[in-house]
Amino acid sequence: MAIPVEGTYGMLAEFETPSDLVRAAQAAYKNGWRRMDCYTPYPVEEAAEAIGFHKNRVPLITLIGGLMGLVAMFSLETWISVLAYPVNIAGRPLYSWPAFVVPAYEWTILWAGLSACFGTLALCGLPTLYHPLFNVPNFRSGATDDKFFLCLEATDPKFEIVSAREFLEEQGPVSVVEVEY
């Protein structure tokens, strides 16, 4: 197991086309690299598949948030109607769950939406005010316009500066740059 060089975030390769990026990412995954990421100006699903990204926890977070909203509102309405302020009107029962359905439904939608929003931000690591890749000039000028990047991160057990650079140069990139913190 290689120990990452202190102060090094990883090795960044720039590619001309998304197909070149996908080919390089597939080769890296096949070669044993696991801590890597692709950066593209628009979604490239093949790149996500190539680096082994298959998990999406947002639906689960949304479901849990919605269920929490449902339970919270039913609990609140039950507490108000039965325990805190019981009012007997025309002999109706204190716990009348059909009256609780509409507000509970609204809270389910509200909590599910907020959970999806904040869960997505948290899983993406946002807001990120600083990232080491922002210091690389060609990344800063082209990652959101027309360039495609593959970054092998130094936290990968296989990472060594020389071997990572050699591997990326074999993939035919436009440039290969060491990214420092």
Model pLDDT for residues 147-171, shown as the tens digit of each residue = 999 999 999 999 999 999 999 999 9
| Torsion angle of the four alpha carbons 25, 7, 141, 50, in this order, in degrees rounded to the nearest 10 | 10
Report pLDDT for 92: 84
Structure confidence by residue, pLDDT tens digits, 34-71: 999 999 999 999 998 999 887 889 999 999 999 999 99
CB half-sphere exposure, 165, CA atoms < 13 A: 9
CB 164 within 8 A of CB 3: no
Q: What is the pTM of this model?
A: 0.73
Q: Which two tokens mark 36?
A: 């890597």
Residues 6 or more apart in contact with residue 64 via CB below 8 angstroms: 115
Average pLDDT over residues 87-97: 87
Sign of CA dihedral 83, 89, 91, 95: negative
